[in-house]
Amino acid sequence: MGISNELRTARECVNATAGPGGCRNLRLSGEPQFSNEGGYRLSVQSHFAVAVERFTRLQAESSETDAVLTGLVELVSGLLGLAGGGVVTDLDGATATVTTSTGPGIALDRLAQLVSDGPGADAIARGSILRIAAVDDHREAWPQFVAEARRSGVVSLAVFPLRHGLRSVGALVLVSDRPRRWLEDEIAMVGCLAEMTSVFLSQRSAVSHFQRLSGQLEQALTSRIVVEQAKGIISNANGIGVDAAYQLIRRHARSHNASVHAVAEAIVTLELRV
């Protein structure tokens, strides 16, 4: 896809998702400008428009949530010339972290700990964006946070809470290995990507929940079918009704410290008789 088409597609993506938060004031318009050398002179908005289009395409092409999140961090880090970053998710009570780093002195294996306390945790709880130009400037206020950041090689960072409605689903964390002034237009457009990420994570969580529920229902149905088959076998074998047959199966299960399903399966597949 040519860059002009990418920008046009991206404008549609961004304008379609414009709403509260990072996308509220972001409307992309116009065509890419040409430089005197005949090449494209891309503005920050144009760069992010391409990132939005590629992030949207990645969501459609990949079924792996981690791969999509890694792609997002790589896109933004490469665009802003950062040392790396990551996404800390909190879905269905399970915390997970996806990170990528390009700086040789950056170790983001403890990214979750970095935002679990101090200003990062406060920002996530409030749903507000945090940007710190130089972590050492906050040594007195947040000594543990600064120490953790320095251990990871982080000198500057920005934290974008990921929320869907009133529910927190994690945070997008961008880090630099040198002091950095975070510009307003950068913050606004990463905020837009963070909104899209929030929706993506919520949708993936809903799909995962549906798949688990579907699996549980299928398992329950299979178990019921096996039990019904066992009741019929015992009923015929003993010349009794199906209710009486079920009571025999239950009694046998209790006396052998087994589940009704396990006994029923043994009756059907192993020719157990009770």
Q: Which amino acid is at 75?
A: L
> Which pLDDT belongs to residue 16?
46
Q: Kindly state whether residues 89 and 65 are assigned to the same domain.
A: yes
* Position 265 in a domain: yes
Query: Total structural domains in the chain?
Result: 2
Q: Kindly state whether residues 204 and 215 are assigned to the same domain.
A: no
> Which pLDDT belongs to residue 94?
63
* Position 13 in a domain: no
Q: Kindly state whether residues 200 and 217 are assigned to the same domain.
A: no
Residue 263 belongs to domain spanning: 210-270
Q: Kindly state whether residues 108 and 200 are assigned to the same domain.
A: yes
Q: Kindly state whether residues 219 and 175 are assigned to the same domain.
A: no
Rounded Cα gap, residues 25 and 38, in angstroms? 31
Q: What is the pTM of this model?
A: 0.67
Q: Kindly state whether residues 80 and 137 are assigned to the same domain.
A: yes
> Which pLDDT belongs to residue 40?
39
Radius of gyration of the chain (CA): 27
* Position 136 in a domain: yes
* Position 248 in a domain: yes
What is the rounded (10 degree) CA torsion for 220, 224, 226, 230?
Answer: 150
* Position 29 in a domain: no
166: left (phi over 0), alpha (psi -120 to 50) or beta: alpha
CATH number for the domain harbouring residue 175: 3.30.450.40
Single out the residue of 35, 54, 80 nearest to residue 185, CA to CA.
Answer: 80
- Contact between 249 and 259 (Cβ < 8 Å): no
Q: Kindly state whether residues 49 and 182 are assigned to the same domain.
A: yes
Q: Kindly state whether residues 175 and 222 are assigned to the same domain.
A: no
CATH number for the domain harbouring residue 240: 1.10.10.10
Look at residues 186, 208, 230 and tell me which one is the last residue of a structural domain: 208
- Hunting for tokens 């979750």 — which residue is that? 112
Q: Kindly state whether residues 177 and 121 are assigned to the same domain.
A: yes
Single out the residue of 92, 87, 83, 149 nearest to residue 117, CA to CA.
Answer: 149
Across 228-255, b (16+ Cβ under 10 Å) vs e yields eebbebbbeeeeeeeeebbebbeebbee
* Position 110 in a domain: yes
- Contact between 202 and 164 (Cβ < 8 Å): yes
Mean pLDDT by runs of 10 across the 274 residues of the chain is 45 46 44 37 67 86 88 90 89 72 80 85 90 94 91 94 86 94 90 91 73 76 87 91 91 91 90 87
> Which pLDDT belongs to residue 95?
73
